[in-house]
Amino acid sequence: MRAILTTSVAVAAVIGLSACGFGEEGITISESEPEYKGAQLFSANCSGCHTLSAAGAEGTGNQSARVQGPNLDELEETEKSALFAIQNGGFSGAVMPQNIVVGDEAAEVAGFVAKYSGSEAGDE
């Protein structure tokens, strides 16, 4: 029984590995997490401006760039605040584009951000 389990896990890992390959290498959460899709979407759509290590995102790497968004490792977002930011282009509406992701995808990104943001904020 154990041998069979181990084999199927290994097979799943191989399939998982071959399925990705576009900038998702930095994602640190497991593909079996419900938030994995959100992490992929974050990596594809938000990582240019925001740091969030669970998605392997490091922003522009230049904290003084005008488009640089807040470091989400240091801010604790709720699903509501993340969704608000996505729909309204941040809280000020000045720099972050609105509705980069919409509908189900926006909800998935918001769920991911809510769960994994604030890892360096202090009180987890």
CA atoms of 100 and 3, how far apart (whole Å): 45
Residues in the chain: 124
Span interacting with ligand HEC, options 2-10, 17-25, 29-37, 79-87, rule CB under 6 A: 79-87
The number of C-alpha atoms within 13 Å of 95 and in the hemisphere containing its C-beta is 10
Write the binding mask 86 to 115 for ligand HEC: x where contact by CB under 6 A, - elsewhere: x---xxxxxxxx--xx-------x---x--
73-112 burial, b if ≥16 CB within 10 A, otherwise e?
Answer: bebbbeeebbbebbeebbeeeeebeeebbeeebbbbbbbb
Nearer to ligand HEC, 6 or 104 (CB): 104
71: left (phi over 0), alpha (psi -120 to 50) or beta: beta
Nearer to ligand HEC, 32 or 92 (CB): 92
Span interacting with ligand HEC, options 4-12, 14-22, 27-35, 78-86, rule CB under 6 A: 78-86
**Residue 70 sits in the site that holds ligand HEC (CB under 6 A):** yes
Binding residues (CB under 6 A) for ligand HEC: these are: 42, 45-46, 48-50, 67, 69-70, 75, 77, 81-82, 85-86, 90-97, 100-101, 109, 113
